[in-house]
Amino acid sequence: MEISWYHLFNSFFNIFPKILNRREVLGAENVPETGAVILVANHRNLIDPPLVGGIVKRKVFFIAKESLFKLPVLGWLMHVWGMLPVKRGRADREAITTSINALQEGKAFGIFIEGTRNQSQAEMLPPKNGAAMIATKTGATVIPVGIVNSEYFLRSFKKIWVVVGKPMNFQEFEHLERKEKYEAISNKITEEIIRLRHTILK
């Protein structure tokens, strides 16, 4: 039943960006149809999870701030969308373990690398290392996703883009110590997301 609710609401919340903002997806063919996949994106609006989840037909799990689960309606929707709560300011061990287990089962996972919504004037906030750590521990395929203009959803009719990059490789960082490796991988993913965004914002 949960999978049915997921697809129902994911489709429902994808209709509005398509109609209001002419949402367009580029590069969806880069996402493997099966196997462990981490979709790593930037984050500017609460509509971003269904935007990313709408790239593929399979269920995409997410990590989100624990406080959001306490909000009426939204908290329930976040559970339906497959989101896992993380305490603000630190990685919740249970959520990280659950995400790793999901990937080891060959599922798809979505992570917003900034750790929270970017409401600043900066293009992206400094990356968190969660995606890098989970990718390293699971060997899951990492797919960068650049979301453009989602901050204008319900504010204007400006077009929204979801630009999907090709699978990333991090072998050049294998010689680094764990913390340095996570930081290097996080920075590389962030740079690729920015590059994808700039294919639209040029």
Taking the C-alpha atoms of residue 81 and residue 12, their distance in angstroms, rounded to an integer, is 12
As a whole number, mean pLDDT of residues 130-138 equals 93
Q: Where are the alpha helices (DSSP H) in the chain?
A: 2-20, 48-53, 74-80, 93-104, 130-138, 178-198
Identify which of 143, 164, 140, 160 has the alpha carbon closest to the alpha carbon of residue 151: 160
Given phi > 0 = left and psi -120 to 50 = alpha, else beta, which region is 151?
alpha
CATH number of domain containing 139: 3.40.1130.10
Provide, rounded to the nearest whole percent, the portion of the chain with pLDDT above 70.
Answer: 93
What are all long-range contacts of 65-71, with beta carbons under 8 Å and residues at least 24 apart?
Answer: 65/116, 66/92
> Structurally, how many domains does the chain consist of?
1
Tens digit of each residue's pLDDT (9 = 90 or more) over 115-129: 889 998 889 999 999
As a whole number, mean pLDDT of residues 99-106 equals 90
Mean pLDDT over all residues of the chain? 87
Tens digit of each residue's pLDDT (9 = 90 or more) over 39-71: 999 999 988 988 998 888 888 888 777 777 888
Supply the pLDDT for residue 93: 72
Structure confidence at residue 2 as a pLDDT band (50, 70, 90) = very low
Structure confidence at residue 90 as a pLDDT band (50, 70, 90) = low
Determine the structural domain holding residue 12 and report its residue range.
2-198
29, 101 Cβ separation under 8 angstroms: no
Cα-based torsion angle of the residue sequence 170, 173, 175, 176 in order, rounded to the nearest 10 degrees: -140
Q: At what angle do helices 178-198 and 130-138 cross, to 10 degrees?
A: 110
